[in-house]
């Protein structure tokens, strides 16, 4: 998010510079120096955050320093009439885009403290006589933080709805499209293969017809949970729609992808799902070749073809793309299928 804010931040600095130059005869030309200091602080922070294991610390440090620079500039005017104290509200509106609630609270607390120090140091007796001198800008800061946080949380919620399947909690096709493009770009650099597993619940229509759609939804949720918990990365497993799922395995060649699919098949068959039902899954696997660019449409088509082979061979088994078959003949047939497992 900070990378997205960088061009807007630069434009904001330009707008402030124009305002300070235009107000130079009244505010003083020295006010350009603090602005240049803030620009330098963020320039350093942007470079440090790219090399840091905790970039949020560098970003928050730059943010806090910019508030300190603004507060110092206002204090140097020594006047309660200086409206630039309200400029402290500008950085507050960016807090919710980059930090958690704890960061937002810390930022607002720092800003309020700086406002209090600046205004009380200028003329404490005037603030005592007219409290709105202090609490009006404080309320501006707090209200700005509250509104920007609400808007950001709403945006995050809607983006989450666009990327997450509501029933299973798995990522959906929209998220899959983004991830496959990332993997394609990574494979251009690393040359690492990417494994693809397509899984389908066997005889799922039978579950809906016999037990109802509520029972079918419960089965989908539980199978999705089993698939998700077998992978460390949240973005590895996706629901394609209906009873079909897809798993991406960055760095996995065909043999490794095949082994992972077998592990999933056994995991689903070994557990009761829904209201105590036992179901099985069929899986098709494929993988891009090492030192080649990951072509998702091609690899998906190969995995889909292998899934049809698994369904046609009796279900409850794993089939690999025959064109890519690399495992020993005792484990992987020419068609890519394994020996059928015992009926569950």
Phi/psi of residue 169, nearest 5 degrees: 80, 5
Tell which residue, 40, 115, 104, 136, has the closest CA to residue 70: 115
Catalytic residue flag (residue 188)? no
Burial profile 297-331: b = 16 or more Cβ within 10 angstroms, e = fewer: eebbebbbbbbebbbebebbbbbbbbebbebeeee
Cβ neighbour number for residue 340 with a 10 Å cutoff: 12
| Catalytic position from the list 243, 262, 302, 326 | 243
Which are the contacts of 61, defined by CB distance < 8 A and separation ≥ 6?
A: 45
Query: What is residue 270's three-state secondary structure?
Result: coil
Q: Are 196 and 297 in contact (CB under 8 A)?
A: no
Strands 244-250, 281-287: pairing is unpaired
Question: Cα separation of 145 and 160, whole Å?
Answer: 22
Tell which residue, 85, 70, 101, has the closest CA to residue 135: 85
Burial class (CB in 10 A: 0-12, 13-18, 19+), 339: exposed
Burial profile 237-275: b = 16 or more Cβ within 10 angstroms, e = fewer: bbbbeebbbbbbbbebbbbebbbbbbebbeebbeeebbe
Catalytic residues: 243
């Amino acid at each position: 998010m900070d990378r997205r804010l960088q061009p807007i931040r630069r434009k904001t600095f330009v707008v402030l510079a124009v305002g300070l130059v235009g107000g130079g005869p009244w505010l003083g030309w020295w006010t350009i120096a603090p602005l240049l200091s803030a620009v330098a602080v963020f320039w350093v922070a942007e470079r440090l955050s790219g090399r840091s294991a905790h970039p949020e610390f560098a970003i928050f440090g730059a943010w806090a320093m910019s508030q300190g620079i603004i507060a110092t500039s206002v204090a140097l005017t020594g006047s309660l009439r200086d409206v630039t104290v309200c400029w402290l509200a500008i950085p507050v509106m960016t807090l919710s885009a980059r930090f958690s609630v704890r960061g937002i609270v810390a930022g607002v607390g720092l800003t309020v403290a700086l406002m209090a120090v600046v205004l009380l140091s200028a003329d404490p007796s005037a603030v005592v006589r007219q409290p709105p001198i202090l609490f009006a800008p404080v309320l501006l800061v707090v209200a700005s933080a509250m509104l920007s946080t609400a808007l950001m949380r709403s945006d995050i919620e809607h983006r989450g709805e666009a990327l997450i399947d509501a029933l299973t909690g798995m990522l959906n096709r929209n998220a899959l499209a983004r991830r496959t493009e990332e993997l394609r770009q990574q494979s251009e650099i690393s040359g690492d293969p990417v494994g693809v597993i397509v899984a389908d619940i066997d005889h799922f229509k039978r579950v809906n017809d016999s037990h109802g759609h509520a029972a079918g939804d419960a089965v989908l949720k539980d199978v999705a949970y089993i698939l998700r918990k077998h992978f460390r990365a949240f973005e590895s497993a996706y629901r394609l729609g209906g009873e079909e799922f897809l798993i991406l395995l960055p760095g996995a060649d065909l043999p490794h992808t095949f082994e992972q699919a077998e592990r999933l098949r056994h995991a689903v068959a070994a557990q009761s799902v829904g209201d105590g039902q036992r179901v099985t899954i069929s899986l098709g696997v494929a993988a891009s070749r090492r030192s080649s660019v990951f072509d998702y449409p091609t690899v998906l088509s190969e995995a889909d073809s292998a899934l049809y082979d698994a369904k046609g061979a009796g279900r409850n088994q794993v089939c690999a793309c025959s064109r890519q078959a690399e495992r020993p003949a005792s484990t992987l047939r020419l068609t890519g299928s394994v020996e059928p497992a015992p009926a569950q």
